[in-house]
Structure 1
Amino acid sequence: MQIYTLHRIQNLPISVEEAWQFLSNPKNLKTITPDYMGFHIISGAEKSMFPGQIVQYWVSPILGIKTKWVTEITHVENHKYFVDEQRFGPYALWHHKHFIKPIEGGVQMEDVIDYKLPFGIFGQMVHPFLVRPKLEEIFQYRYEKLEAIFGKYSS
Structure 2
Amino acid sequence: MKSYQIKFAQKLPISSSDAWDFFSSPANLAKITPNEMAFIVTSGDSDGKMYPGMIITYKVSPLFGIHLNWMTEITQVEHEKYFIDEQRFGPFKFWHHQHHFKAIEGGVEMTDILTYALPMGILGRMAHEVMVKNKIKEIFTFREKKVIELFGVYTGQ
Matches within 5 A, 1:120-139: 120-139=121-140
1:105 CA drift (Å): 1.0
Q: Aligned Cα RMSD in Å?
A: 0.8
Tell me which amino acid in the other structure corresponds to 1:8: F
- Structure 1: state its 5+ residue gaps: none
- Return the TM-score normalized by structure 1: 0.98
Matches within 5 A, 1:1-155: 1-43=1-43, 44-154=45-155, 155=157
Q: Deviations over 1:53-85 (max 9, x none)?
A: 000010001121100000000000000000000
Q: Is the 8 A contact 2:25 2:47 kept in 1?
A: no
Aligned length: 155
Q: Is the 8 A contact 2:101 2:109 kept in 1?
A: yes
Q: Distance in 1 between matches of 2:41 and 2:80?
A: 24
- Return the TM-score normalized by structure 2: 0.97
1:16 CA drift (Å): 0.2
Q: Which runs of 4+ in 1 moved over 2 A?
A: none
- Structure 2: state its 5+ residue gaps: none
